[in-house]
A and B are shown apart, each in its own frame.
Chain A
Amino acid sequence: MTPGSILVLKPGLLTSIQDLGRWGHQAAGVPVAGPMDAFSHRLANQLVANAAGAATLEITLMGPELAFDVDTTIAITGAHFDVWCDDRPVPMATSVPIAAGQRIRFGKRVQGARAYLGVAGGVQAPVVLGSRATHLVSGMGGHEGRALAAGDRVPILAGAGSGATRKAAGLVLPTGGRARVRVVPGPQADWFHADALRTVSGVSFRISPRSNRMGYRLEGPPLARVREGELISEPVGMGAIQVPGAGEPILLMADRQTAGGYPKIGHVISADLPLAGQLAPGEFVEFVTCTRQEAVAALIARERQLLRYSALRDVS
């Protein structure tokens, strides 16, 4: 396959290269990064018959305009946008052949916050500590460690792709700017009043404008603590709901630090993290508690959905 590229004509609000993340280096303080909605990222790869480790473009709130200089196949999953290939509308969650010279233009965002553009053969970028994922704060991975800018050329492979059309239903996106996500109690749930988890349950938190890929600051009812102070800093994972002594709870997302010192009242379950990733600042998240068994069952159901699409016959 000869090398080709995507020329970034307009970058959109925040478009970055992501893969499943930079695992295995958190002991050295290296954040994992990766997609905010891993389900849609993986689905985009499956629709263009990529390996699971391939990188996609994560597109946030306002999409880019891109020019392709080689024939290839793309698929756009996650958030619904009006997208055009030259003057022809591009269906979501469907593999679409692209000819050299064609342009992909993102228009109005219809639903969800983050779209994933998969391209046959995967978006190319140097592999840094085992991953192509962009971590914005540390400037690591992706395209020069940063979000894409106008004039960037992102390498892709030419001539990749099966040619046949693949189509999937995709993630059921949040409607009306709110999502209900399930949480399991956190290791410091006993730092809060007994009813704090109940307070969290069924109450909507607004995602503050001061939210980003590292985490969502949540505006809502105060979560009364029975213990003051901070913890001795300890390892944390995506989905942890940290509660600083005063101030807004923070839902840790893809670009989170590797450790933190705030008590955690709960964790968003893995199966529902993609939904959280589809929320924008100003939108609302509602937590409902569940058991760990339910969390794993939900994740298996999600995975079955992905497996079904990977087994899907190509339709033409």
Chain B
Amino acid sequence: MRIRHCGDAMLLVEFEAVIDPLINERVIALAARIRDRRARGIQDVVPGYCTLGVHFDPLHTDLSALERAIEHEARDLGAIEQLPDRAPIEIAVRYGGEWGPDLDAVAAKAGCSPAEVIARHSGRLYRVYMLGFVPGFAYMGRVDPAIVMARHRVPRERVPAGSVGIAGEQTGVYPIESPGGWQLIGRTTATMFDAERTPPNLVGPGDLVRFVAVTDGGA
């Protein structure tokens, strides 16, 4: 673990630079511990895949005390050697057709049928590594190697809210209509983000997600 200065108002705590559930679990645990200290000047504690951003007000923060606190809280993170059991959050998805305009192309590229892409995508549990891009957008992994797909070279200008996509080994749901380059294989009616809800995001860092294929009449 290493603490880096990003300008004068953010620290970045770096773990081993890999996308790994256990590393990510430690990042999330450290985030919770730092938040719980409620130290003066801390504005936001933001977990990434294998990094943790700590935003602070430089005029109201004892920076060396903050660095010591991070080191102290990180001391025994190595003791986290297993992922806790969490109940998966199910997200119902209509795959293909107008809901998933890229499903057939993904199947062609993978050399299988669209039904098999659906089975592979909905057939495993995904970990939410981090949120970003827009409010409530969760980066989840990893997808079945057979259906790993590169992003579109030219992103779509408008991806409808609820669209479920694949980018590389990641999968995710667009919470709001936005531009986007992910391969769209389905759509959900689940509300991924609602500022009036507590918490506003349907899924958070460390959560497990299962996509459930539905046919018309469902979701």
CB pair A296–B135 under 8 Å, yes or no, is no
A4 within 8 A of B: no
The interface-forming segment of A68-76, A205-213, A234-242 is: A234-242
CB pair B130–A23 under 8 Å, yes or no, is no
- How far, in angstroms, from A296 to B199 measured CA to CA in the complex? 35
- The total of chain B residues at the interface (CB under 8 A) is 46
A273-316 interface (Cβ within 8 A of B): 292, 295-296, 299-300, 303
CB pair A27–B205 under 8 Å, yes or no, is yes
B91 within 8 A of A: no
Chain A residue at smallest Cβ distance from B200: A28
A91 within 8 A of B: no
Chain A residue at smallest Cβ distance from B134: A138
Residues of A close to B134: CB separation below 8 A: 29, 31, 137-138, 257
Contact of A234 among B48, B195, B199, B201 (CB under 8 A): B48
The interface-forming segment of A55-63, A78-86, A112-120, A264-272 is: A264-272
Residues of B close to A240: CB separation below 8 A: 6-7
Residues of B close to A237: CB separation below 8 A: 6-7, 9-10, 53, 55
Residues of B close to A162: CB separation below 8 A: none
| Contact pattern, B 8-36, Cβ under 8 Å of A = 1, otherwise 0 | 11101010011100000000000100000
B43 within 8 A of A: yes
B47 within 8 A of A: yes
Q: A24-B43, A28-B201 are in contact. Are A299 and B59 (CB under 8 A)?
A: yes
18 CB contacts below 8 A, A to B, read: A28-B136, A30-B200, A31-B135, A137-B178, A187-B5, A187-B12, A234-B49, A235-B10, A235-B51, A236-B6, A237-B10, A259-B46, A259-B48, A264-B6, A267-B7, A269-B8, A270-B8, A295-B8
Residues of A within 8 A of B (CB): 23-32, 128-129, 137-140, 184, 186-187, 231-240, 257-259, 264, 267-270, 292, 295-296, 299-300, 303
